[in-house]
Structure 1
């Protein structure tokens, strides 16, 4: 094992119960086991999923060490780890890729059967390396990035170029990449096609960027925040709709901009239940395809049956269909080469100690992504 084999005491953002407050406290992080790495976190960011985790998604296991977006440096590795070493810059992921299971070799999905999304908040051996005052800590998914140190199974870690901007690397660890992948891998947007993106947060802006990279010629962004118009245009949006400016439905407004027929592809990035039907209705009868990637509090939603019956396709997506090795590495390479205008995402920064200020900043109409500085 490289690096330290000792328990590390450090600071982390903790939630003690369902809907409870978030506090920054001292925790203990054990050394990694044979197939694990311990990561010294540098920078993290906030995704909507992190807010949901405080309110019981994907589990109600507490106390919980928060955060799942971020980038760090490997501090120590288990004695069976051969792909990473101390000092490597890495992005923790919440799903793995074995490249040999039925799903991985099918080319049809990114949902690996060997290293699935960890919904229990524990590592693959159903334990945790993090504790507080002798009590086990759970993760949001497979990691806890709002902590000075964390441990993850090596199969949930992506090595990245050490010259990558840590702030930008945080953005691609979940939100932006989810949207980008949805256009690239899930919808497989065709050149010359039309696209509607409902919600222009980091995920939606990723979908806009992905659609542009695939050659879409009409990219309609929809958001009630007028300030998102400029953000959307920076990533490749060609038209903007503010639903608050009209009494018409979102689907009607989209059809007005697409010859009355609707668009080829739509991406629902808000998690607002009624907008799922609207996103379907905004696409063409018979051929329209909707990818749902937004996650809201409501886990059961109603869908207009006629929207599906008339030949449209609705597809769910986790991490935008990206495989964390094969595909996320491509996104990371683009990020390292500064092919994305990520300065448009980076709007606020707070130190870990002020994590609660980050939640307040998210209410600011000008806020897109809040960066959490784990280390000075």
Structure 2
């Protein structure tokens, strides 16, 4: 492309300080260096993790910064040493990269790349950034920074997808859908005929429901205080819905009674300490599995009697569904193209980048499932 090797000026949503609104700015995006790729972002989703970063409730976030980590785009240019990507490729940036060389990447049990964990916060591997605005260095976020028309990522943090893929809602596979779906089929390994309960019916919770249904669960109980989400939950696979405020008993007790001893698999998709505790107590005392997916933020602790685990309960956590990103993401995209699931059903709002603050307000008010920003 004619922009290869040149600085690109484009729009981005810059966060200058924590707890401040996004500012739409013209930024400069430097060409990719060795083993890096510059990507033109087409769509990007708004995720609760971005809100945690915005409010300084995540580690390793340095301001000013360009947030965003759930995107899809097209390769604009590649740096020296890049082998598997070329301009024009359709790609999904990966906040959880995969080097295929470190011990964790080689082990099928984990998906947290050691090389990713060793990167300097907000900078590329050489200790510098590819973004500038008004003469100031702007930091990267989650190795992706998708709230920008163009971004630069390391080749370990990018995966190529099918050429025929429609670049819209598929951006959700970059975080939301993979996180929820993978938590059901990979982390929990839901068995056919089992019972499942899902706390929180945002985009991730709905993706868990799709995963549970795909795995063959016979009963999927959806739980949320916002009853206007129930119709969508049932549409995609929930067999019943419960609003805790309508119950005359604690929700955990209700679930235990309704399932004759506790739920086989319980998923917490909110990141609320009280809900996490309820999820544990709602699981079957002998063999129930509880999966924590929601991010609780910094300085949060959970307290419970360890004796509740003695009889056989299991607690797991899941980041990006526990999956290997380079293998699982392309397969999910192929399944999406084959219409095995409908990502459009998870999208409640589509907004231009200029309305990103409106999109975050919708999420904070619980009025959106997933909002997609377009460029």
TM-score interval, smaller chain: over 0.9
Pairing of 1:51-130 with structure 2 (within 5 A): 51-56=51-56, 57-116=58-117, 120-130=121-131
Q: Do the aligned partners of residues 213 and 97 (structure 1) sit closer, same or farther apart at CA in structure 2, a change above 3 Å counting?
A: same
Quote the residue 2:258 is aligned against.
Answer: 257
Residue 32 of structure 1 corresponds to which residue in structure 2? 32
Given the alignment of the two structures, is residue 301 of structure 1 paired with residue 295 of structure 2, yes or no? no
How far apart, CA to CA, are the structure 1 residues paired with 2:186 and 2:198? 16
How many Å apart are 1:103 and its aligned residue? 1.8
CA–CA distance in structure 1, aligned partners of residues 265 and 153 of structure 2: 36
Q: Match for residue 272 of structure 1?
A: 272
- Contact map agreement 1:63 1:138 (CA 8 A) in 2: yes
- 1:195–1:219 Cα change, 3 Å: same
1:314-354 deviation per Cα after TM superposition (whole angstroms, max 9, x unaligned): 11221110111111222111122222232321211111112
CA distance in 1, matches of 2:116, 2:50: 21
**How far apart, in 2, do the equivalents of 1:111 and 1:360 lie?**
31
Q: Is the 8 A contact 1:12 1:147 kept in 2?
A: yes
- State the Cα distance separating 1:129 from its structure 2 match: 0.7
CA distance in 1, matches of 2:13, 2:265: 39
TM-score (norm 2): 0.94
Name 1:213's counterpart in structure 2.
214
Q: Which is further off, 117-126 or 223-232?
A: 117-126
Mean Cα deviation higher: 222-231 or 150-159: 222-231
CA distance in 2, matches of 1:332, 1:307: 39
Taking the aligned partners of 1:225 and 1:366, their CA distance within structure 2 comes to 9
**SS of the counterpart of 1:37?**
strand
Q: Return 298-307 or 208-217, whichever deviates more.
A: 298-307
Tell whether the 8 Å contact from 1:168 to 1:335 is kept in structure 2 after alignment.
no
Pair 1:2–1:88, CA change in 2 (3 A): farther
Q: CA deviation at 1:130?
A: 0.9
Give the direction of change, closer, same or farther, for the CA distance of 1:82–1:298 in structure 2 (3 Å limit).
closer
* Residue equivalent to 2:147: 146
Partner of 2:22: 22
Q: How many residues align?
A: 373
Deviations 1:65-114 (A, max 9, x none): 12111111100001211100000111111112233432223211112223
Is this contact kept in 2: 1:15–1:23, CA < 8 A? yes
For 1:233 and 1:124, the matched residues in 2 are separated by 45
Work out the CA distance in 2 between the residues paired with 1:275 and 1:365.
Answer: 16
Output the CA distance in 2 between the equivalents of 1:182 and 1:299: 24
Q: Which sits farther off after the overlay, 235-244 or 308-317?
A: 308-317
User: Aligned partners of 2:337, 2:100: CA distance in 1, in Å?
Assistant: 25
Residue by residue over 1:260-308, the C-alpha shift from the partner in whole angstroms, topping out at 9 and shown as x without a partner, is x111111110011111111111111131111101013354222312333
> What is the CA RMSD across the aligned residues, in angstroms?
1.8
- Would the alpha carbon gap of residues 60 and 43 (structure 1) be closer, same or farther in structure 2, given more than 3 Å must change? closer
Does the 8 Å CA contact 1:3/1:77 hold for their aligned counterparts?
Answer: no
Check whether the contact 1:89–1:159 (CA below 8 A) recurs between aligned residues: yes
**CA–CA distance in 2 between the matches of 1:118 and 1:2?**
31
Q: Distance in 1 between matches of 2:273 and 2:154?
A: 34
1:314 equivalent to 2:315? Answer yes
Q: Give the 3-state SS of the residue equivalent to 1:104 in structure 2.
A: helix
Q: Which moved more, 1:359-368 or 1:61-70?
A: 359-368
Gaps of 5+ in 1: none
* TM-score normalised by structure 1 residue count: 0.94
Shift of 1:366: 4.7
Question: Using the alignment, how far apart are the partners of 2:345 and 2:366 within structure 1?
Answer: 14
Deviates more, 1:98-107 or 1:65-74: 98-107
How far apart, in 1, do the equivalents of 2:238 and 2:119 lie?
Answer: 34
- Counterpart residue number, 1:247: 248
Displacement of 1:365 after TM fit? 5.1
Is residue 336–residue 342 contact of structure 2 (8 Å, CA) maintained in 1?
Answer: no
State the distance in 2 between where 1:59 and 1:251 align: 35
Deviations 1:163-208 (A, max 9, x none): 2222221111101210100111111111111111111111111111
1:2 deviates by: 8.4
Mapped to 1, the partners of 2:64 and 2:309 lie a distance apart of 41
Deviation at 1:231, TM superposition (A): 1.4
